[in-house]
Amino acid sequence: MKKLKVAIIGQGRSGRNIHGAYFKRPDNDLYDVALVIETSAARRERALKEYPGCEVCADYTALFARKDIDLVVNAAYSHRHYDITRDLLLHGMNVLVEKPFARNYYECTDLMRIAREQGVVLAVFQQSFLAPYYTGTKEFLKTGKIGDIIQVNIRFSGFARRWDWQTLQCKLGGSVYNTGPHPIGLGLDLLDFDENACVACSRLARAFTSGDGEDCAKIILTAPGKAIVDIEINSNDAFGEGYTLKVFGTRGTYQCNMNTYKAKYILPGENPAHAPVKEFLQDQDGLPVYCSENLVVHEEEAAFDGEVFKAGTQYFYQMLYETLAHGAPLAITPEHAAQIIRVIETVHAQNPLPTIY
């Protein structure tokens, strides 16, 4: 199996700790890091040690003279995703861009247009779709055990403060651009990426952040004839450890975090329906009573197989390899990522926050 040559732009938390960590794994037999682009001299020196045989440089435009690079990973600052990716595509390079895909839907469509015209591959790193907890959730929901889906709650929250560049609007920061592509993407996927999906309601606020981007977000999505998706991304949720996804169906409930799931549901025919009582409900002595019964219920729980971040990254790169090496279609498309950005753009338009920095 031929290994593909990769260039990584950036050695920050994503470029080094996510993408770089995958490339350095002993079971990575698909990619070799040939070039690292990093503005920090210290990080360039470290890259030479961490990726044996690679070259380093400070400016991504050095890529334009390279004909041996099969894939460029754009893990630069979020506000540079669009312009750097555009430049790379125009020079005929295959690009994997970190999330967020771009600032707005127009920029996404522009990048997709250029990729088509240049005949190159453009992908967006939305690995959450391939994380074990989410693929496991999709498999469970296919069983129909909890019936038709009525509502989905998604929580990507915690109780912590941030003061890095990802809290600044000028850097395309704030929780919705930073974290939002994951829960928004899952929510849209559970709505089948319906082209009529819309933001029914949203609210952005600041609580703990030192920057001028939001760190509290409520987003409600829906589509005609489909479930309501309730998304929260909050830094001030001190008691939100219970679940990541909760799905309410017509026969029960499914709930999971990133490691385990549990479900409780009833099966058709096991609990005969009661005829509605039009007047009042009473016991044998004529005293008023509340509806009460012992339902026959089924419960299950289990752990997911695979660590969330490592497995999601590995499966994403395996998918991308099949596209680059064999022309297979992407399972996670730029069109999906563009729809996520359209939601983010709408949410920010509905909740403009003053810029400070």
- DSSP letter for each residue of 73-120: EE-S-GGGHHHHHHHHHHTT--EEEESS--SSHHHHHHHHHHHHHHT-
pLDDT at 280: 84
Q: Are residues 28 and 139 in the same domain?
A: no
The pLDDT of 178-205, averaged and rounded, is 97
Q: Are residues 300 and 315 in the same domain?
A: no
Q: Are residues 254 and 268 in the same domain?
A: yes
Any domain includes 347 = no
Q: Are residues 277 and 163 in the same domain?
A: yes
Residue 90 CB contacts under 8 Å (≥ 6 apart), including other chains = 114, 118
Any domain includes 295 = yes
Q: Are residues 272 and 249 in the same domain?
A: yes
Taking alpha carbons only, the member of 100, 83, 14 closest to residue 338 is 100
Confidence of residue 20 (pLDDT cuts 50, 70, 90): very high
Q: Are residues 233 and 274 in the same domain?
A: yes
- Give the model confidence (pLDDT) of 295-319 as tens digits: 999 999 999 998 878 899 999 999 9
Six-digit token pair at 344?
């983010």
pLDDT at 182: 97
Any domain includes 55 = yes
Give the largest Cα separation in the chain, rounded. Answer: 91
Any domain includes 101 = yes
The pLDDT of 5-11, averaged and rounded, is 97
Determine the length of the chain. Answer: 357
pLDDT at 279: 83
Number of structural domains the chain divides into? 2
pLDDT beyond 90 at 247: yes
Any domain includes 348 = no
Q: Are residues 321 and 297 in the same domain?
A: no
- Give the model confidence (pLDDT) of 45-101 as tens digits: 999 999 999 999 999 999 999 999 999 999 999 999 999 999 999 999 999 999 999
Any domain includes 147 = yes
pLDDT at 5: 97
Q: Report the predicted TM-score, pTM, of the whole model to 2 decimal places.
A: 0.93
Classify residue 323 by burial, with Cβ atoms within 10 Å: 0-12, 13-18, 19+: middle
Q: Are residues 228 and 134 in the same domain?
A: yes
pLDDT at 285: 87
- What is the CATH classification number for the domain harbouring 278? 3.30.360.10
Q: At what angle do helices 334-350 and 181-190 cross, to 10 degrees?
A: 110
- What is the CATH classification number for the domain harbouring 70? 3.40.50.720
DSSP assignment, residue 39?
S
Q: Are 85 and 9 in contact (CB under 8 A)?
A: no
Q: Are residues 41 and 187 in the same domain?
A: no
pLDDT beyond 80 at 195: yes
Classify residue 283 by burial, with Cβ atoms within 10 Å: 0-12, 13-18, 19+: exposed
Any domain includes 102 = yes
3-state secondary structure of 249: strand
Q: Are 266 and 297 in contact (CB under 8 A)?
A: yes
pLDDT at 286: 83
Q: Are residues 97 and 146 in the same domain?
A: no
* Sign, CA torsion 163/173/128/29: negative
Q: At what angle do helices 132-142 and 308-326 cross, to 10 degrees?
A: 80
pLDDT at 240: 76
Q: Are residues 238 and 267 in the same domain?
A: yes
The CA distance from 18 to 230, in Å, is: 28
- Give the model confidence (pLDDT) of 314-331 as tens digits: 999 999 999 999 999 999
- Give the model confidence (pLDDT) of 97-150 as tens digits: 999 999 999 999 999 999 999 999 999 999 999 999 999 999 999 999 999 999
The CA distance from 102 to 121, in Å, is: 16
Taking alpha carbons only, the member of 302, 350, 313, 338 closest to residue 112 is 338
- The kind and range of the H/E element at 176 are helix 175-178
DSSP assignment, residue 48?
H
Q: Are residues 117 and 65 in the same domain?
A: yes
- Per the structure, the complete domain to which residue 60 belongs is given by 4-126+311-333
Any domain includes 338 = no
The CA distance from 115 to 212, in Å, is: 34
The CA distance from 84 to 90, in Å, is: 10
pLDDT beyond 80 at 241: no
Share of the chain above pLDDT 90, in %: 89
